[in-house]
Amino acid sequence: MNIGITCYPTVGGSGAVATELGLWLAGRGHKVHFITTDLPFRLRENYHENVYCHKVILQSYNLLKNPPYTLALAVKMAEVAQWEKLDLLHVHYAIPHAVCAFLAREMLGGALKFVTTLHGTDVTLIGQDPSYTEITRMAIERSDAVTAVSASLRAETYETFRTTRPIEVIPNFIDPRRFHPDIHCDHFHPQARDGEKILVHASNFRNVKKVDDVVRIFHIVQESIPARLFFIGEGEAMPLVRKLCRDFGITDKVEFLGEQESVACILPRCDLFLLPSWLESFGLAALEAMACGVPVVASKVGGLPDVVEDGVQGRLLRPGDVEGMAAAAVEILDSVNLPRYREACVRLSRERFDIAKIGPRYESLYQKLAGKP
């Protein structure tokens, strides 16, 4: 099949999922066409057979304050679909990508099927803004098929938009060939010092991630056991995070790694992943950590209970319970307990979230829509 995929190419969960799915499909012999403003970040490492990238060019016009991304993307979708004879498009995020796919289909006289995957922000944030509610509902209703990454996100979509469109839950996934405890890379690894445990957090540092609570949790943990904290990512919460580190006097124990395209090279060297978010529609970062044998302490919100079994692969507590999360972290990091948690993380990630089990569900959906065996 010829499959088009549109996602945000920058570092983030939806882009990672879209890219990993595209690579898996290409490995199955399908031709995969990424239609984005830039090369998706997980495609930058190597050449991949059966993978093609079509860049959306944004033109500046004196009349317009900002380049019209959505219109340029819709035109590019239609152009690629016609030229490459795409069987369908798979767009990640209802806003704006499903709307662009709808426009592209209209330009082609209705001769283009498209699948929309809801990842969270398009429902929980943008879609609930009254300015965007109706167009988000339209994007969902006009999609030929809709998927959501968790049951909680599907339920919130139905409640928010009152849509009658069937939504299939297809969870996020990991490729165990890329995310596993024994990976060896030639570049930087975090290293513990004098028996320290390494705690890690990775995100886009949006306020909903509560990255400041990561610092507060670590501050308590490092008073009980030797520990070091690694931050992966950048974003709006960074100034507050740095201030808290200075206020607590722990700057010598915290390292900021910035945005990293190969987190799989870092995670296996860590001992615990912290994710105290107010909201997580799935928690892909937590799953990737678990696949590398890293247990998780996180908030019991959204789709995270589908990913982490409390007391088995880590602990889930109410959002904002800094002291409880710190106590859970110390308990997990105990040398008697940590191996058990590590083993459970790897086992669950492979049994339930291996791309070899999740990928065929998308493939089957594509074949059904395109009418191909």
DSSP state letters, 59-104: PP-TT-SS--HHHHHHHHHHHHHHHHT-SEEEEE-IIIIIHHHHHH
Query: What pLDDT score does 187 carry?
Result: 60
Rounded (5°) CA angle 34-173-325: 125
Kindly indicate the confidence band of residue 108, based on its pLDDT and cuts at 50, 70 and 90: very high
pLDDT tens string 195-214: 899 999 999 999 999 999 99
Alpha carbon of 76 to those of 5, 103, 108, 249: distances in Å? 12, 11, 12, 51
CATH no. for 197-353: 3.40.50.2000
pLDDT tens string 128-153: 677 888 889 999 999 999 999 999 99
Question: Domain map of the chain by residue range?
Answer: 2-173+354-370, 197-353
pTM as predicted? 0.91
Single-letter amino acid, residue 335: S
Contact 307, 198 (CB under 8 A): no
Whether 197-353 and 2-173+354-370 are alike in CATH topology: the answer is yes
d(CA 293, CA 321): 24
- CA–chain centroid gap for 256, Å, is 20
Query: What pLDDT score does 153 carry?
Result: 93
Helix (H) or strand (E) holding 34: strand 31-36
Q: Which CATH superfamily is domain 2-173+354-370 in?
A: Glycogen Phosphorylase B; (3.40.50.2000)
